[in-house]
Copies of this chain bind each other. A is one copy, B any other.
Amino acid sequence: MTDLRNKSVDELVALVQSLEKELASEKSKNQMSRPKIAVMTSEVVDSNPYSRLMALKRMGIVEEYEKIRTYSVVVVGVGGVGSVTAEMLTRCGIGKLVLFDYDKVELANMNRLFFQPHQAGLSKVEAASNTLSLINPDVEIECHNYDITSVVNFEGFMNTLKTGGLNGGAVDIVLSCVDNYEARVAVNTACNELNIEWFESGVAENAVSGHIQLLIPGETACFVCAPPLMVASGIDEKSIKKEGVCAASLPTTMGIVAGFLVQNTLKKLLKFGDVTPYLGYIALKDFFPTMTLKPNPTCDDPFCRQRQKEFQARPPKEVQKQVEEVPIVHEDNDWGISLVDETPVEELVEDKNTLLKSQWDRQPSAAPGPSGDSEISTETVSGTDGIEDLMKRLKTLNQS
C-alpha cells in the first residue's frame, strides 16, 4: 500500500499496463480454445482437429464422415456416463448437443472422468458447456438446467425434442444417461409419443456392470415393455437413490459404457457397422451379453402400442425382414422378449452357457477338471425356461 503511494505516476501507469497484460494472458488461458473451422477437411496437418476422423473415409469405414455436422443429439443426464458421452460427441464434431441435468458438480464426482475440482458448485450443464465449448467451438451446445420428470418441465423437454434439431425440427436421437427410474420413464414416454429413437444406458450401483440398449418406438421393446432388463442389469431402481446409500462408481465402467453408447450412436447416424440392440458389460468376467427385445403388444404406454401398430402396418418390403427372419426363440415368456438367433432356445441356452463357461473358466485357477462342472455352470444348466433363466443368470453375475 505505502509502496504504491511512493511510486511516480509513470511507474504506476507502467504497473497498470503490465498487470493488464498479465491478466489478459491468464484470462485467455481460461477461455482459450481454437478458431472455428467452417468446413471439415481430411488435410493431414497438425493443426487440423478433424484429420483423424475424416481418415475414416480413406480407411473405408465411413462413407461421409462430414455428415456428422448435420445431426443433433440430446444427452439426458450429464453425470459419469453422460458427461463422457457429451465429450466424445463434441470431439467427434457432432452438429448440435442438447444437455439436460439439474444437479451440481461435487468433489464426490471426481472419481469419474470429465469434471474437475475447480468446477465444484457449478451446475453440471453449465460446467459441461464451458469445457465442451473450449474443446470444440464448432459444436452448437444448448443447456437445460431442470428436472425433466416434473409436469411443467416435461412439457419443455418434449418441446425441445420436437424442435431442437439443427433445422428446427425434431432432434435426431436421444441418449439417456440418467441414474433413476422416473427419468428413464420420462424419456421413454416422450420418445414414444414423438416417435424418436433413443439409447438407454445404465451402470449398476456396485460399479462393475453396465449396459446400453437401443429403443426404436414400435419396433423394439420400449423401456416400459421390458422391466426385467433393469433387474438383469443389476440396477435396483428403488435402492439406488435411497438416503444414506452411496452407490459405488468407477471411471472405467462409466467410460466404457459411454464409449459403447457413442460408438453405437456413430454407427447409427453415420451408417457403418452393425448397431447392437442391447450390449451389456460384466466387468468382473469381461463378459458382454447381447440380445434383441421385441415390443410387448400389451405395453402400458399407449404410444408404444400405437407405434407397434404403425410398424406392423408398414409396407411389407420394410417390415418383412424383421418379421420373417427374426424367429421368436421363446414365445411364452411374459415380456415378449426374444433373442435373435437361428438356433432353438434349448440349444441357444446351452451355447450361451458354453460361452459363459468359457469366459468364467479362462482363469486357470477357476478351470474345472475334465469331469467336474464349475459351480456357476452347474447352477446355470437348467436350459428349459430360456429368457427368464438367462435373466436370472445375468442377475447372479451382476451380484457376484
- Which A residues have a C-beta under 8 Å from some C-beta of B? 1, 4-5, 9, 12-13, 15-17, 19-20, 22-23, 26-27, 29-30, 32-34, 42, 44-53, 55-56, 58-61, 84, 87-88, 91-93, 106-108, 110-113, 116-118, 120, 134-136, 205-208, 244, 246-253, 255-256, 258-260, 262-264, 266-267, 272-277, 279, 283-286, 288, 290, 292, 321-322, 325-326, 340-343, 351, 354-355, 357-370
Contact = CB atoms under 8 A, between A and B. Distances in A.
A53 B91 contact: no
Given A44-B246, A106-B46, A259-B253, A340 B364 contact: yes
A128 to B, nearest CB: 14
A245 B248 CA distance: 43
Contact of A343 (B48, B52, B354): B354
A252 B256 contact: no
B207 A59 contact: yes
6 contacts: A16-B19, A26-B30, A117-B135, A260-B286, A274-B285, A274-B360
A30 B277 CA distance: 43
A59 B139 CA distance: 39
A13 B19 contact: no
A272 B282 CA distance: 13
Top 6 A-B pairs, shortest CB-CB distance: A273-B284, A32-B118, A55-B248, A256-B259, A49-B110, A26-B26
Nearest to A137: B117
Contacts of A46: 106-108
Contacts of A249: 52-53, 55
A106 B52 CA distance: 12
A91 B113 contact: yes
Contacts of A277: 362
